Chain A
Amino acid sequence: MTLGKRFNNQSILDISTSVCGKYIAFIVNIILLLGLIFLAIGNFEMFLAGVGIWFFRSTPTWILAVYLIIPSFYLALKGLKNICRFNFLLYIIIPLILFLIILNLRDFRITSLLPIAEDGFLSIFKAVPSSLFAFVGFETLAFINPYIKNPGEMTRRASLSLMITTLLFTLIMLASIGIFGEALVFKRFNSLLGLARLIRLPVLERIDLYFIAAWIIGMNLVINTYLFLIYDSAQKIFQFKSKLIPMAVIAVLIIIVVSLTDDNILILTLTNISGFVSIFIGFLIPLIFLVIAVIRGKKGGGSV
């Protein structure tokens, strides 16, 4: 974020150009772009897997991929402003998640959570990498710098959102473990939706269907941002002229990759690696740039 404030209006890609010089920057930018694409594909595969397991066992993946990507495609075309407005849906989804947890409290046993830290801190440290997954999304900050209207607020707001996300993650994790118990939680792919299956309401009986619909909406929000960022960064690197064609190409690319590599185990490894990728892009590289920029005494100015 400090880096962002220094180079007032430039996205990380522009920064890399001014910091490293044109040719190295090009390579670094491509790496960043690939990182973004990787994260997008990872998320999208999770999305597809969820929908595929729950409803569409025999439909080919690519059809689902095409269908699911349509709203994201439309929204990404409309720009970041609209994506941000669209995220108001989060205000609905988060209460729904809390609602889900509350409905299941009857089965919550605190004894499942205890004892804490029995195995020693070492094993806790070992688990940190996979929990870095919670920080995915942070790296998008690096890319949206030029669009931020109010840089002064940035630090505060970004930290706040990060805290809320981590809090939410922790809450869901506590609830899942408390309700399912350690052994069962790890046997499930998607414990959040598993919680939904538990609920039995007087008239409607099974309402997991509606929670899955909410989950679909949530996942879509994620894909939106990634799609837009990929297009935006690609545009900065390659300077496209039209908007529609590169976007379509990106979408098709993602669909193809996703359909070919659809495999549950792959998804699990992807999520682990995603944590690293996110930190790499969102934290390490900007840090390096900051150092270099300070050393070289460069400052960015104006908009690019």
Chain B
Amino acid sequence: MLRNRRPKVAESPEDNIEIDVSLVKNMERLQEQLRDCGDLAVTRIKTAGGRDVNVLFIDGLVDYDLIQRDVLPTLLKLKNIDSEAFKDNRVFPVIRYERILILEEAVDKIFRGSTVVLIDGLDYAFSFELQRIEARPIEEPTTERILKGHHDGFVESASRNIAIVRSKISSSKLKVKKLTIGKRSRSVVAILYMEDIANPEIIGRVEERLNKIEFDNIGAAGTIEQLISDNPFSIFPQHQATERPDKAIANLLEGRIVLLIDSTPVSLILPVDYFQFYQTPDDYNVNFYFGSFLRLLRFIGSAIAVVLPALYIAILTFHYQTIPLDLLVPLAESRSRVPFPPIIEALIMEVSFELLREASIRLPSTLGPTIGIVGGLVLGQTAVQAGIVSNIMVVIVGITAIATFVVPQYDMGLILRVSRFIYMINAALFGVVGVAIYFLLSMAHLVSLESYGQPYLQPIAPFKAKDLKDIFIRGPLTSYSLRPDIARPKDKTRGRGYTGDKQ
């Protein structure tokens, strides 16, 4: 197996240099580190008391208006740095600022968008939080659309995301723990949980794993996901990624933990069980009859998406006796025109569809629908007429393709696609027995998968009857008085829904 060879990054002796009293010395050292950083701006002013002051910031990250209005006038008017007011921090009219003693920290702050002020004669620097970063407005994520709920989505800034969550759960029990990880990209990861519901053991585990990460670039949620998974070699996701605040909030209230990562709108929910990936907020917005219908539809859809082509291959290759009589002759007729055995035919069609799908993600929106029509209809039809595939194959592939996207989560969709291919190969080798054996193998794998200590296939294995109401069907809201067991919540009750006049 590949061994991870992580180079040990030595701590350089510069890491702990303190800010010197002399401005010149500080600037010398800083220029060393910040050489060739063309986006660094240095403004040199003099206080009223005659001291030299350097204001350092990254162009593009700060708000000029605020600096000019709040920081510079105060600096220019500064007479005495030894005054009581100065020592008591009553001088600057800025909400958030702090004193920095170590040079490295100052550099860090500059790169984060703070404005750092170095005053000659002081052995500390001030850092003011006056950022202004152009950000995307809040809009609904395109991959997770629902019909009846709100259309908010997370944005790239972690603090704004936290704000969104906080505004919807106005409780002091919602705790936010911030960690900085990643050697160079220095991403801020926030762990959100409800103190009185979430299980402290799981929280501890998450923190531990996050702190252990030694990786250069934590740009996306997926990277973090892979680095802290229980079982990174499994194809099944062990965290749920979502851009929707309502999903994150619902999960928080069930006792799960949400990770918000700076610079990505995707949040991670953990711990996770397999059936979570089939739930959408829409299910809860409608009557439970329809919610159950939708859920069942998704399960049937995913079963079809995985197994249908394999069954087709198995039956045509090994078990022709199972074909219903009325289909027998038409099927034979259409198959007889095709020069390939069923497995090859199926692979041809499936691979073409996968290519189509992959390509359509990157197509400009003007071409997208056209290619869809061309690819889907015309290609399929002409392939049949050319005698490369049989028409039943096209129907099967079409149904399968549509069924794959019934699953709300993108990760799950990927899994279905890959599994389908493996099932097809197994079916071609051993027929229905092959399908059964691979099914057993994947069940065995699923059963042994754990997400932060919680079994992945809960509540089916181990069997927890109480939690079944939210899996294949969506029980009426009145039955949701207890929280599901997956996150081992401390407080199990969540209040009954209104049941009319019955008490």
Contacts and interface: CB of A to CB of B under 8 A. Distances in A.
A78 B436 contact: no
A205 B325 contact: yes
Interface stretch (B134-142, B411-419, B439-447, B487-495): B439-447
Interface string A205-245: 11101101100110010000000000000000000000000
B24 interface: no
Contact of A88 (B315, B319, B435, B463): B463
Interface in B425-456: 430-437, 439-441, 443-445, 447-448, 455
Interface string A63-79: 00001101100110011
B447 to A, nearest CB: 5
Interface in A65-98: 67-68, 70-71, 74-75, 78-79, 82, 84-89, 91
B318 interface: yes
Contacts of B447: 75, 78, 82, 85-86
Secondary structure at chain B's binding surface: helix, strand, loop or mixed?
helix
B440 A71 contact: yes
B460 interface: yes
A55 B433 CA distance: 8
A216 B441 CA distance: 13
A216 B318 contact: no
A51 to B, nearest CB: 6
B461 A88 contact: yes
A67 B437 contact: yes
Contacts of A79: 448
Interface in A185-212: 203-207, 209-210, 212
Interface residues of B, number: 29
Interface string B315-345: 1001101101100000000000000000000
A67 B440 contact: no
Contact of B444 (A74, A207, A209, A213): A74
A220 B440 contact: yes
Contacts of B443: 71, 86, 89
Contact of A51 (B433, B435, B440): B433
B275 to A, nearest CB: 13
Contact of B324 (A56, A75, A203): A203
B501 to A, nearest CB: 38
Contact of A75 (B431, B437, B439, B444): B444
A137 B284 CA distance: 45
B457 interface: yes
Nearest to A87: B461
Nearest to B324: A205
Contact of B432 (A55, A78, A205, A220): A55
A221 to B, nearest CB: 9
A216 B314 CA distance: 16
B466 to A, nearest CB: 16
B500 interface: no
B462 interface: yes
Contact of A86 (B319, B324, B437, B444): B444
21 contacts: A55-B431, A67-B437, A71-B444, A74-B444, A74-B445, A75-B444, A75-B448, A78-B447, A84-B462, A85-B447, A86-B461, A88-B463, A91-B463, A203-B324, A206-B322, A207-B322, A209-B321, A213-B433, A213-B435, A213-B436, A216-B440
Given A82-B447, A86-B447, A203-B324, 12 more contacts: A55-B319, A55-B433, A67-B430, A67-B433, A67-B437, A71-B437, A71-B440, A86-B443, A88-B462, A204-B324, A205-B325, A216-B436
